[in-house]
Structure 1
């Protein structure tokens, strides 16, 4: 193939992509058609298939959102999303990361929709996240007393914290268990949640304010001493070391810690 032919083929491919994604019609003259199946109809088949495939991908990643909204409304939302946020990833798995933002903008009076999408996306990210070997509880017993103040912990890459201002987590749980979901509501106070993968199973649980602050401190590279300082906002000074040690032990047992230094 000559350089000129290569350029012509590249131009043809770009025109085809533009038509499928944006409806540009320059490619129409390059496509053969018949009176029964004209070129524009042949191209429409590809455009429709492209959108159906991406809609299916969104529904696969956000099944509870689709279930909660209903198939028709979700399909309309998916088409809007496809036009506003075309796929830019080699893997279709990561298509949909901006969905919570679109829902936030399109349905400000229903904030649980954006949070349900963010919740499901984070659940999927934890499930698909990279592997890392967790440490055992023996790692804590081996630490010398003088080493504790400067101790730092490395968390599993699937550990995520979300601050929810609605009952999106309860909606997700009810829909997953095929139960009638509770009424969607906004909360009086934000509720932090922890999501991670323990072995091959994705886990989640709500967090009290002290544990949430402790996790944020440690995941940001804080030391055990910084952890204790953080917990002083919730506990008496003499009780803080025991509280901090208890949290660390729980994180280890839940396979969230993969390194100690």
Structure 2
């Protein structure tokens, strides 16, 4: 190992709070002594980690308050040192940390609120793909529709939590007092629209079953069969195509493969 590489590894270990020797890391100079200057480097690194968590979990921080959020950040930095080359990924384990660590695990909504903020970031950062429109669906011969499957935009996600954390997030984002914690079973859909803005909305029972069916790889006929177990035929007939149009208008769909050996994709 070269002397330079060894010094770089020792410097990184020191900055990250790992056991290391500080001999020769910095040249002696005027002003502050070596240990003070090294401490400045470490403190700047820790400040960068705190800043990224403050930014990535802004609503969570406001909900928890400084008295709880600041110790959470300090505990997370100590327990889960960064293993990533990008600060964007540093907060990936926050939901798990909140689930497993006292006193935060006594407030289970915190982990779910953190998951929602992470999901919003994931949708925003997802890869982009051209999207289909309802006119593309109408271009497919109707006899091929039963065998048609859907491929969704990479930003599309489903989010479910046992508490009303999305409503809490919305209230705090609007600088309103958050509602009391309640249990719920709603499913939310998140995606990034064509204007590169992240959107989300709740899904009806019908839409949940339909979306879950397509995401499981079922074709339109299979999805309709699944829906028939819970809804009357006239309800399915009225809402199935309407729901497809809604998804296409929102930019959720990027391909409509059929078993006829064709796959309609956006270009």
Q: Same fold (TM over 0.5)?
A: yes
Shift of 1:100: 0.7
Compute the TM-score of the two structures, normalised by the length of structure 1: 0.89
30 and 142 in structure 1: CA distance in 2 versus 1, 3 angstrom threshold:
closer
Shift of 1:22: 2.3
1:133 alignment counterpart: 130
Q: Which runs of 5+ in 1 are unaligned?
A: 1-5
Shift of 1:83: 2.3
1:220 aligns with 2:216: yes
SS in 2 for 1:206: strand
Q: Distance in 1 between matches of 2:229 and 2:99?
A: 33
Give the superposed CA RMSD: 2.0
Give 1:106-255 correspondences, 5 Å limit. Answer: 106=101, 107-183=104-180, 185-187=181-183, 189-199=184-194, 200-255=196-251
Q: Distance in 1 between matches of 2:235 and 2:209?
A: 17
Shift of 1:84: 2.4
Q: Which runs of 5+ in 2 are unaligned?
A: 258-267
* Conserved 8 A contact 2:11-2:25: no
Q: How many residues align?
A: 254
Pick the aligned partner of 2:49 from 46, 54, 63.
54
Q: Distance in 1 between matches of 2:186 and 2:100?
A: 22
Shift of 1:246: 1.8
* Conserved 8 A contact 1:210-1:231: yes
Q: Distance in 1 between matches of 2:149 and 2:98?
A: 38
